[in-house]
Amino acid sequence: MISDELNRIIKAKSDLKDFLQKMGIDAEDAKVSDLATIFSVLIDNMLIIPKGTELHAGSFSSYNITRVFLPETVSIIPDSCFNSCGSLSSINFPKSISTIGRSAFATAGKLSGELDLPNLQNLGSTAFVSTNISKIISLGNLKLLSSSAFCVCPKLISAVLPDTLTGIEASAFGGSAALKYIKCLATIPPTSGKGPFDGSVCPIYVPDASVSAYQASTNWIAYASRIKPLSTFIE
């Protein structure tokens, strides 16, 4: 467990804050970019972000890190923050996350696990493109699913889209061929860009009373035969 490893490191160094101060870094005020190399070396390529630290766009793009631990104080993961981190396989997503920026994890090909983001409000384009995310449990109160957000995710098997969703942009799930089902909980069909589900053949479950509306909606009509009432869903 990450917490066990962190406790081991803190014990070995007596006090992580004092250790950083000896390195000439104030753990309370330091920018993430200043801490990246120290932490990755300190704990065998596992990056621990200190409580209260603000992430910045591109902070760790292309870094050789395998795991990331984020504190509950993080609410925003900015654009390209972990873009092209080819060795990154796991990250905890605190419930506090409200925004994940454009290409935040794009082409972090080993990144796996489930997404449960109950307070999410904003998700940038290509945020998780070409990752190994397996399930989307919750996207919180998301209104717009941006273009190619989950494009070409070869291990993605299911996705639940919130009832707050009003728009899905082009290729949102394009090329994610392993999908077994998608649930879209919005009663009014979200506006749709071109081919949001192209490359998969899975059923798309929607509220029972909205099936006909979805089947007749622009760019949903191409998936009419796949659109099913939620009441028929069987895990």
Handedness of CA 216, 217, 222, 224 (dihedral sign): negative
Decide: helix, strand or coil at residue 228. strand
Strand order in the sheet with 191-192: 144-145, 167-168, 191-192
CA geometry: angle 47, 82, 149, nearest 5 deg? 140
The reported pLDDT for the residue numbered 230 is: 98
Topology classification of domain 54-232: 3.80.10
Distance CA 113, CA 130 (A): 14
Residue 116 · residue 136 · CB < 8 Å: no
**Phi-psi category of residue 45: left, alpha or beta, with phi > 0 → left and psi -120 to 50 → alpha:** left
The reported pLDDT for the residue numbered 125 is: 98
Residue 110: CB atoms within 10 Å: 13
Q: Block means of pLDDT (10 residues each) for the chain, length 235 residues?
A: 51 48 49 48 69 86 89 94 94 96 97 97 98 98 98 98 98 98 98 96 98 96 97 93
Residue 180: which residues within 8 A CB-CB, separation 6 or more? 157, 158, 202
* Main-chain dihedrals φ then ψ at residue 184, nearest 5 degrees: -115, 110
Decide: helix, strand or coil at residue 34. helix
Residue 25 · residue 34 · CB < 8 Å: yes
The reported pLDDT for the residue numbered 28 is: 53
Please tell me the pTM assigned to this model. Answer: 0.83
Whole-angstrom Cα Rg for the chain: 20
